[in-house]
Chain A
Amino acid sequence: EVQLVESGGGLVQPGGSLRLSCAASGFTFSSHYMHWVRQAPGKGLVWVSRINGDGSATSYADSVKGRFTISRDNAKNTLYLQMNSLRAEDTAVYYCARGMGITTVYTDYWGQGTLVTVSS
């Protein structure tokens, strides 16, 4: 059974940093693109970032480019999102999601999310 479990969320002050993790199990982690998607309270889904299977290619939404870094450790079956220079508008539930098949454009399994709150 495919499982994705996010962790690392919490309360952080504006300008601070946080690293999210997503522990994956039930599939060959290194064979799939992985994504981060966020959802502000009461708002819609917003794609944040994606990474390819071996970690050599990444892409980001303009809103986080230069502040967030996606990475993965295939030996640990874990996806990461390093978030720096956090702003109030980064407050959201952050989901990790598995890329479907060999594609980078669809996601077929999602974790339950971890809440990040940026506030003083």
Chain B
Amino acid sequence: QSALTQPRSVSGSPGQSVTISCTGTSSDVGGYNYVSWYQQHPGKAPKLMIYGVSERPSGVPDRFSGSKSGNTASLTISGLQAEDEADYYCCSYAGTYILVFGGGTKLTVL
């Protein structure tokens, strides 16, 4: 149950696009289409942004999109806005009813 690998930080200017990667193994990310992404602002609870690799829950802007290739999932945020500045976590099913999170990525909007 090793944590998925995410970059510690990414940054972008308002209006730009950024992509956050999430690398696992064939036992988690690569083995199932059960990847989700969470946004967490300081002192707040996480919020589900993407599930099922690329599906958006109701209310999440379509600026947020997800994808997966092999053992790596990605979250892309286009048209960056100041309120997007937060920590982002990927999460994957890892078999036998276990979930594993990534280490988290701090997004800075310059």
Residues of A within 8 A of B (CB): 35, 37, 44-47, 50, 57, 59, 61-63, 95, 97, 100, 104-108, 110-113
**A47 B100 Cβ-Cβ under 8 A:** yes
CA distance A35 to B87 in the complex (A): 20
**B36 A106 Cβ-Cβ under 8 A:** yes
CA distance A62 to B3 in the complex (A): 12
Tally of A-B Cβ pairs under 8 angstroms: 60
Known: A44-B89, A95-B46, A105-B36. A59 touches B97 (CB 8 A): yes
Q: Interface code B67-110, partner A: CB below 8 Å = 1, 0 otherwise?
A: 00000000000000000000101010100111111111000000
Known: A100-B48, A108-B48, A113-B45. A45 touches B97 (CB 8 A): no
**A50 B45 Cβ-Cβ under 8 A:** no
**B101 A45 Cβ-Cβ under 8 A:** yes
Contacting residues, chain B, for A108 (C-beta < 8 A): 48, 57
Known: A59-B98, A110-B46, A111-B45. A47 touches B91 (CB 8 A): yes
CA distance A63 to B46 in the complex (A): 22
Q: How far is the CB of A20 from chain B (nearest CB, A)?
A: 15
Contacting residues, chain B, for A57 (C-beta < 8 A): 97
Known: A50-B97, A59-B96, A106-B51. A45 touches B1 (CB 8 A): no
**A61 B97 Cβ-Cβ under 8 A:** no
**Complex partner residue of B101 from A47, A104, A113, CB under 8 angstroms:** A47
Contacting residues, chain B, for A61 (C-beta < 8 A): 1, 98
CA distance A95 to B93 in the complex (A): 18
**A50 B51 Cβ-Cβ under 8 A:** no
CA distance A35 to B93 in the complex (A): 13
